Amino acid sequence: MRCERCQGCMIRDSFVDLRDDTGRVLFEGWRCINCGEVVDPVVLTHRVDVPAKPYRGQTRDRRTWERLTAV
C-alpha cells in the first residue's frame, strides 16, 4: 500500500485511540513509515462514503429529473 501523501511505503499497525467519539479504543490501520501518515478503517470508510457518484445521471438530464419528481 502506498501513502497518498508522499507515496511512501505503508505498513499495517495497531493504534490505540483515546478519542471516545467513535467508541473505538484499539484499531488496526496503516501507517506510513516515511511521513507518518495514518490511515485507519474509519478514515477509509469516510473516503468511500464520499464519491462524486450520487448526482451523476440525475441532475445532468433535466427532463429525467422532472419526470422523476412529477410522480
Q: 24-63 mask for Zn ion (x: CB under 5 A)?
A: --------x-xx-x--------------------------
Least spacing, CB of residue 58 vs Zn ion, in Å: 37
Burial of 10 (0-12, 13-18, 19+ CB in 10 A): buried
Position 9 contacts Zn ion (CB under 5 A)? no
* Residues 61, 13: Cα–Cα separation, whole Å: 46
The runs of H, that is alpha helices, within the chain are 41-49, 62-70
For Zn ion, the binding residues (CB under 5 A) are 3, 5-6, 8, 32, 34-35, 37
